Amino acid sequence: MRKIYILEHFDFSDDQMKRLKQLGDVKYFDKANQQQIDEAVKNADAILLDWIDPNPILANMRKGQFICLPYTGYDWVSNIQLAKDNGVVLSNTPNYSTNAVAEHHLSLILACAKHICYFNNIYKSGKEVPFNRGKEISKLKVGIIGLGHIGTRLSELLSGFGVEIMTYNNHVRNIKGIKDVDLNTLLKESDIVCNTCRLTPQTRNMLSKKEFELMKNGAILTSTTGGIVNLDDLAEYVDKFFGIGLDDVDQQKVPEKLLQSEKVVCTYHRAFDTNESERNRINLCIDNIEAFFKGKPINQI
């Protein structure tokens, strides 16, 4: 019987675990220690992990083994090519949290426009709420950088507000009702700039001093991908913005000026994390393992 090693805690439903056990002998560790990881590398047909660093594991896996990386992005995983060269089959879990991240992004936009976090903090502190008028997003121009799955879903959510949407991508998207423009045009014309593109060597620090200079005074800037926005440069321009909403900042050093600003809303890398997206992610992991065992891998890296 095939051996499936789960090296970390996953919130499997009873039905999901039943399905997984139908595929093979499941060895489950809530948090595997090094001895258990070594056992998995030696004996497993398929390995599933979450926050454990996959790089040492990938370096020691052999031909015919399979590993599921339960993330959409995997640019930070450095030993993928080594594992593939050794005959290891790898899959990821694309698009499991598309709706979750798009909704979180919309929440950041509204939190900035309405000063929700600021008013909440002032109210709970018992202080008198000062005059600080919000903004309606209806009829504003919204620029979405990266109209992939998340950006497209965000555009759908925003369409109900009656906004005008433009987008910048490496390739023209030609989506009805959305105007394709270059990055400079998007930055100059947008009242709200939303980054949803993923982090690559090419997109790292894509929004820096030069780009902030181009943006409108009183614009709103939001991003759900860490590393795209240069936070040190942003701190120098914070007074230019009406509001700034940032997710996925926990792996970065956020300048004190941003942390202290009433205009800035920061959240941990949790835009993806909903009950629904976790259920989607686990189902995709099981799909990936099942497809590998059938000799027809899907979502292959």
Q: What are the tens digits of pLDDT across the range 148-164?
A: 999 999 999 999 999 99
Range of the domain at 234: 98-267
Band of residue 10 on the pLDDT scale cut at 50, 70, 90: very high
Statement to judge: residues 195 and 60 lie in one domain: no
Statement to judge: residues 15 and 141 lie in one domain: no
Statement to judge: residues 242 and 152 lie in one domain: yes
Burial of 281 (0-12, 13-18, 19+ CB in 10 A): buried
Statement to judge: residues 28 and 162 lie in one domain: no
Statement to judge: residues 117 and 243 lie in one domain: yes
Quote the CA–CA distance of 263 and 117 in Å, as a whole number: 9
Q: What is the CA radius of gyration of the chain?
A: 22
| Mean pLDDT calculated for residue range 166-184 | 95
- Please report the pLDDT score of residue 127 as a whole number: 85
Quote the CA–CA distance of 169 and 147 in Å, as a whole number: 7
Quote the CA–CA distance of 8 and 54 in Å, as a whole number: 12
- Please report the pLDDT score of residue 38 as a whole number: 98
Instruction: State yes or no: pLDDT of 129 exceeds 90.
Output: no
- Please report the pLDDT score of residue 8 as a whole number: 97
Statement to judge: residues 193 and 223 lie in one domain: yes
Express each pLDDT in 257-288 by its tens digit.
999 999 999 998 889 999 999 999 999 999 99
Residue 21 lies in a domain: yes
Statement to judge: residues 147 and 43 lie in one domain: no
| pTM of the full structure | 0.91
Residue 152 lies in a domain: yes
Quote the CA–CA distance of 115 and 264 in Å, as a whole number: 9
Quote the CA–CA distance of 208 and 12 in Å, as a whole number: 41
CATH number at residue 237: 3.40.50.720
Residue 298 lies in a domain: no
Band of residue 110 on the pLDDT scale cut at 50, 70, 90: very high
| Mean pLDDT calculated for residue range 98-109 | 98
Express each pLDDT in 16-67 by its tens digit.
999 999 999 999 999 999 999 999 999 999 999 999 999 999 999 999 999 9
Instruction: State yes or no: pLDDT of 74 exceeds 90.
Output: no
Statement to judge: residues 233 and 103 lie in one domain: yes
Q: What mean pLDDT, rounded, does the chain reach?
A: 95
141 or 128, greater pLDDT: 141
- Please report the pLDDT score of residue 200 as a whole number: 86
- Please report the pLDDT score of residue 75 as a whole number: 80
Residue 300 lies in a domain: no
239 or 129, greater pLDDT: 239
- Please report the pLDDT score of residue 17 as a whole number: 97
Amino acid at 273: D
Statement to judge: residues 112 and 251 lie in one domain: yes
- Please report the pLDDT score of residue 122 as a whole number: 86
| Mean pLDDT calculated for residue range 211-217 | 98
DSSP letters, 198-262, are PP-TTTTT-BSHHHHHHSPTT-EEEESSTTSB-HHHHHHTGGG-SEEEEES-TTS---HHHHH-T
Statement to judge: residues 116 and 244 lie in one domain: yes
Total domains, the chain = 2
Quote the CA–CA distance of 1 and 286 in Å, as a whole number: 16
Statement to judge: residues 109 and 240 lie in one domain: yes
Express each pLDDT in 215-251 by its tens digit.
999 999 999 999 999 999 999 999 999 999 999 887 7
